[in-house]
Amino acid sequence: MSADREGEIRTTYVGGLASADVADEDLVLGVVRYEYDFLDRSVDRNVPALAPPEELLDAYNAVREAAAKDESVPDTDDEARRVAWDGVSFRERYLNYLDRAGPQEVLETLRDRLDNGRVVWLVCLEANEAFCHRRLLAARVVDEEPAHFSEIYEPPESEQDPQVALDDFDGGESA
């Protein structure tokens, strides 16, 4: 590793690691609450202290499952995630969790690695970054304000502004 190499925080999900540009000297950290053999084989180490707390994951999963069954929610997995993310105030609750002493100690260690020129990968199981804690964590590591999911998530066309569709409707009258 060159002495002038700048540290960087990167994120992906386990399935995305195969196509990610991970160098041998990069530190690849799982940030998953529970242990999985496939995760352990894919990362240098899992750090559950940086994963969302169990009660937040349980609440999120319960609302996501209910939203997936709710006929008023568009029939996409991402829409169920969006409902759950908002419904349990995931962003706020996770960021508050990261402010606790234990996670703060781990964050300081990650910042030290970056200051020493290391590239650190944060890896979890969620493919859609909009509804994933790793982007919030990555922003917190580098002391940035994390983006709101709505800044990076595009809903399906059926969920976009219904007024646009009404404006295009001519009432069935012929010209």
Instruction: Look at residue 156 in the predicted model and tell me its pLDDT.
Output: 57
| b/e sequence 144-171, b meaning 16+ C-beta within 10 Å | eebeebeeebeeeeeeeeeeeeeeeeee
Predicted confidence at residue 96, as pLDDT, reads 96
**Left, alpha or beta for 117 (phi > 0: left; psi -120 to 50: alpha)?**
left
Q: What is the pLDDT along the chain (175 residues), one digit of tens a residue?
A: 444 457 899 999 999 999 999 999 999 999 999 999 999 999 999 999 999 999 999 999 999 999 999 888 877 788 899 999 999 999 999 999 999 999 999 999 999 989 888 999 999 999 888 899 999 999 999 888 776 656 656 665 554 444 444 444 444 444 4
* DSSP secondary structure letters along 31-87: --SS--HHHHHHSSEE-GGGSPPHHHHHHHHHHHHHHHH-TTS-S-HHHHHHHHHHH
